[in-house]
Structure 1
Amino acid sequence: MGLGFAIIIGMVLWAIVDLVLGARKRRNSLSISRHSTTEKIDFIADGEDFFEMLLKDVDAAERHIHMMFYIFRDDETGLRVIDHLCEKASQGVRVIVLADLAGSHGLKKKTIQRMTASGVRFSYSRKIYFPRIFTTLNERNHRKITIIDGKIGYIGGFNAGNEYAGKDPKFGYWRDYHLRVIGEAVNDLQHQFLVDWQAENEVIDDHIYTPLPTGNHASVKFHITNGSGGEESFSSYIDGATSSIVIGTPYYIPGRMVQNSLLNAIKRGVSVILILPMKADHPLVKEASFHYLVELIQAGGKVYQYMNGFYHAKVMIIDDRICDIGTANFDQRSFHINGEINCILECPEVLKTIKKVIKMDLLQSERLDLDRLKKRTIGNRLLDPIARLLSPFL
Structure 2
Amino acid sequence: MWLVYVILIIGALIAWMVVDFKLGRSRFIRTRTRRNYGDRYSDITLISRGPELFDKMFYDIKNAESSIHILFYIVQNDHLGHRFLEVLEEKAKQGVEVRLLMDQLGSSQVPKSKVKLLKQAGAEVAFAQKVKLPHLFFTSQQRNHRKITVIDGKLGYLGGYNVGKEYIDENDRPELSPWRDYHMRMEGEGVLDLQAEFSIDWHRATQKELKNEPLYFPPAAKGEIRHQIFPTEGVNIEKFFGEFIDDAKHSIVIGTPYFIPTSHLMDKLLAALDRGVKLEIIVPNQADHALVKEAAFPYFRPLLEKGALVYQYMNGFYHGKLMIVDDHFCDIGTANFDQRSFFINLELNNLIYDKNFIDIVKKEVAKDIKESDRLTASDLQSVSVFTRIKEKVASAISILL
Give the TM-score taking structure 2 as reference length. 0.94
CA distance in 2, matches of 1:164, 1:374: 34
Q: Does 1:187 align with 2:192?
A: yes
CA distance in 2, matches of 1:302, 1:9: 41
Moved more, 111-120 or 340-349: 111-120
CA distance in 2, matches of 1:44, 1:5: 51
1:24-48 CA distances to partner (integer Å, 9 max, x unpaired)? 3355556533124233100000101
State how 1:81-120 maps to structure 2 within 5 Å: 81-120=84-123
Paired letter, 1:359? A
CA distance in 2, matches of 1:46, 1:26: 35
Residues 1:319 and 1:4: Cα distance change in structure 2 (over 3 Å): closer
How large is the RMSD of aligned CA atoms in angstroms? 1.8
Partner residue, 1:217: 224
Q: Does 1:137 align with 2:143?
A: no
Consecutive unaligned residues in structure 2, runs of 5 or more = none
SS where residue 202 of structure 2 aligns?
helix
Residues 1:7 and 1:290: Cα distance change in structure 2 (over 3 Å): closer
Match of 1:125 among 101, 116, 128: 128
Q: Does 1:23 align with 2:28?
A: no
Partner residue, 1:201: 206
Q: Does 1:151 align with 2:142?
A: no
Give the TM-score taking structure 1 as reference length. 0.95
Partner residue, 1:243: 250
SS where residue 80 of structure 1 aligns?
helix
Paired letter, 1:202? Q
CA distance in 2, matches of 1:252, 1:210: 39
Q: Does 1:361 align with 2:368?
A: yes
CA distance in 1, matches of 2:153, 2:33: 26
CA distance in 1, matches of 2:280, 2:39: 29
Match of 1:174 among 153, 159, 179: 179
Contact 1:238–1:262 (8 Å) recurs in 2: yes
Contact 2:273–2:306 (8 Å) recurs in 1: yes
CA distance in 2, matches of 1:357, 1:219: 20
Partner residue, 2:61: 58
Residues 1:11 and 1:371: Cα distance change in structure 2 (over 3 Å): closer
Residues 1:37 and 1:308: Cα distance change in structure 2 (over 3 Å): same
Q: Does 1:346 align with 2:353?
A: yes
Paired letter, 1:117? Q
SS where residue 397 of structure 2 aligns?
helix
Match of 2:280 among 273, 286, 291: 273
Residues 1:8 and 1:359: Cα distance change in structure 2 (over 3 Å): closer
CA distance in 2, matches of 1:373, 1:10: 36
1:130-152 CA distances to partner (integer Å, 9 max, x unpaired)? 22111111111111111000001
Paired letter, 2:288? D
Paired letter, 1:212? A
SS where residue 105 of structure 1 aligns?
coil
User: Shift of residue 344 of structure 1?
Assistant: 0.2
CA distance in 2, matches of 1:341, 1:288: 24
Contact 2:154–2:220 (8 Å) recurs in 1: no
Paired letter, 2:320? A
CA distance in 2, matches of 1:11, 1:239: 41
SS where residue 217 of structure 2 aligns?
coil
1:335-386 CA distances to partner (integer Å, 9 max, x unpaired)? 0000001100112222121111111111111111012222322221111111
SS where residue 233 of structure 1 aligns?
helix
CA distance in 1, matches of 2:11, 2:314: 45
Residues 1:84 and 1:173: Cα distance change in structure 2 (over 3 Å): same
Structure 1: 4+ residue segments shifted above 6 A: 1-7
CA distance in 2, matches of 1:6, 1:366: 46
User: Shift of residue 10 of structure 1?
Assistant: 5.2
User: Shift of residue 5 of structure 1?
Assistant: 7.8
SS where residue 16 of structure 1 aligns?
helix
Partner residue, 2:80: 77
State how 1:213-362 maps to structure 2 within 5 Å: 213-214=221-222, 217-362=224-369
Contact 2:192–2:220 (8 Å) recurs in 1: no
- What is the percent sequence identity of the aligned residues? 39
SS where residue 71 of structure 2 aligns?
strand
Contact 2:68–2:149 (8 Å) recurs in 1: yes
1:293-341 CA distances to partner (integer Å, 9 max, x unpaired)? 1111111110001111000000000012100000000000000000001
Instruction: Report the number of matched residues.
Output: 393
CA distance in 1, matches of 2:34, 2:236: 5
User: Shift of residue 9 of structure 1?
Assistant: 5.8
